[in-house]
Amino acid sequence: MIEIQNLSKRYGDLIAVDDLSLHVEAGELLVLLGGSGSGKTTTLKMVNRLIEPTAGRVMIDGQDVGGIAPYELRRGIGYVFQRVGLFPHMTVGENIAISLTLLGWPPPRIRDRVAELLELVELSPGVSADRRPSDLSGGQQQRVGVARGLAAAPHVMLLDEPFGALDPLTRDRLQQSFLRIRKQLELTAIFVTHDMAEALLVGDRIGIMRDGKLIQIGTPRDLLRSPADDYVRQLIETPMRQAQVVDALLEDTSS
Ligand SMILES: Nc1ncnc2c1ncn2[C@@H]1O[C@H](COP(=O)(O)OP(=O)(O)O)[C@@H](O)[C@H]1O
Ligand SMILES: [Mg+2]
């Protein structure tokens, strides 16, 4: 479905993304995981041409995205930005509907769709479409960001740390509703995070990036059983160890 072939991006001497190749199956959710500056956002933005690659290409459904007009391409790809990026002077509804307005949907149809999306991301009935983003909590704003990405019913979603910078409980609730939405809409998605626990929760497979390179890709089990190097081992063992500690504590208290 999504095929990334030898993709690179250079900024002068800096190689932000270095000869990266991977594929995402239809209906699959691939997590890209890596530290800050490892090239995750740059990779994601090359999929929908917010950034043009220096070398390599991205194919979607067998078509080179380089040959598709960007507005055409983005119609079929939902994008959830890092740090949400809602427009403060627009209402929640206008933010969600931005792509639909660009597509020329008539206002009544937009209103219906916005109501449907507010329900889908579990903001309805508490949050009305004519509120301003600044009236909402961080978690609610993140939900609006996800609703905006889903507005035009894309078959591909790109999500850039969509639940970053939230308290653990809010984050957990958002992850759970995202898992439900994902299943319901049968999305094919690339989901960027720097949090391994989140990666394990949402990902069918996880690709680990470091210094612009993909150093390993596989199922959580693959990564755990045969980590490519110590970095990967540490990344995956940390949440596993924490889970074991919690398990042990629970065992203790139940006996
Ligand atoms: N427009 C740009 N000009 C120069 N360097 C950039 C630009 N965008 C990103 N970079 C650099 O490319 C590297 C990868 O960035 P990015 O893809 O944003 O990483 P991540 O999302 O994993 O934190 C970083 O070193 C970053 O500073
Ligand atoms: Mg980033």
pLDDT tens sequence across 193-236: 999 989 998 999 999 999 999 999 999 989 989 999 999 999 98
Instruction: Write the residue with the smallest CA distance to atom 3 of ligand 1.
Output: 11
Output the CA 207–ligand 2 centroid distance in Å: 15
101 lies in which domain range? 28-33+76-254
Phi (first) and psi of residue 121, to 5 degrees: -90, 10
Q: Which residues line ligand 1 (CB under 6 A)?
A: 11, 14, 16, 34, 36-42
Nearest atom (ligand 1) to Cα of 9: 12
pLDDT in tens, 88-142: 999 999 999 998 998 899 999 999 999 999 988 888 878 889 999 999 988 899 8
**Does pLDDT of 28 surpass 90?**
yes
In testing the pocket of ligand 1, which one of 18, 41, 191 has its CB within 8 Å of the most ligand atoms?
41
Inside any domain, residue 61: no
Max CA-CA distance within the chain?
Answer: 63
Residue having the nearest C-alpha atom to atom 27 of ligand 1: 37
Q: What is the DSSP string of the chain?
A: -EEEEEEEEEETTEEEEEEEEEEE-TT-EEEEE--TTSSHHHHHHHHTTSS--SEEEEEETTEEGGGS-HHHHHHTEEEE-TT----TTS-HHHHHTHHHHHTT--HHHHHHHHHHHHHHTT-TTTS-TTS-GGGS-HHHHHHHHHHHHHTT--SEEEEESTTTT--HHHHHHHHHHHHHHHHHHT-EEEEEES-HHHHHHH-SEEEEEETTEEEEEE-HHHHHHS-SSHHHHHHHHHHHHHHHHHHHHHHHHH-
Atom of ligand 1 nearest to the CA of 192: 21
Query: Using CA of residue 39, residue 45, residue 51, residue 56, what is the dihedral sign?
Result: positive
Work out whether strand 63-64 and strand 55-60 pair parallel, antiparallel, or are unpaired.
antiparallel
Asked if residue 160 lies in contact with residue 41, where contact means CB atoms within 8 angstroms, the answer is: yes
**Ligand 2 center–CA 247 separation, angstroms:** 33
Which atom, in ligand 1's list, is nearest to the CA of 45?
17
Residue 152 falls within a domain, yes or no?
Answer: yes
CATH number at residue 210: 3.40.50.300
Q: Which residue's alpha carbon is nearest to atom 12 within ligand 1? A: 16
CA distance 138 to 192: 19
Say if 92 falls within a structural domain: yes
Residue 12 belongs to some domain of the structure: no
Ligand at shortest distance from the CA of 43: 1
* Contact assessment for residue 38 and residue 200, using Cβ atoms and an 8 Å cutoff: no
Average pLDDT, integer, range 77-82: 89
- 58 lies in some domain: no
pLDDT at 255: 64
How far does residue 34's CA lie from ligand 2's centre (Å)? 9
Closest residue by Cα to atom 6, ligand 1, is: 11
Query: What is the C-alpha to C-alpha distance for residues 242 and 239, in angstroms, rounded to an integer?
Result: 5
Q: 210 has which bridge partners?
A: 213
Q: Is residue 180 in a domain?
A: yes
pLDDT of 179 over the 80 cut: yes
54 assigned to some structural domain: no
Nearest CA to ligand 1 atom 2: 11
In a domain, 168, yes or no: yes
Model pTM above 0.75: yes
Count how many domains the chain has. Answer: 1
> Residue of the nearest CA to atom 8 in ligand 1?
42
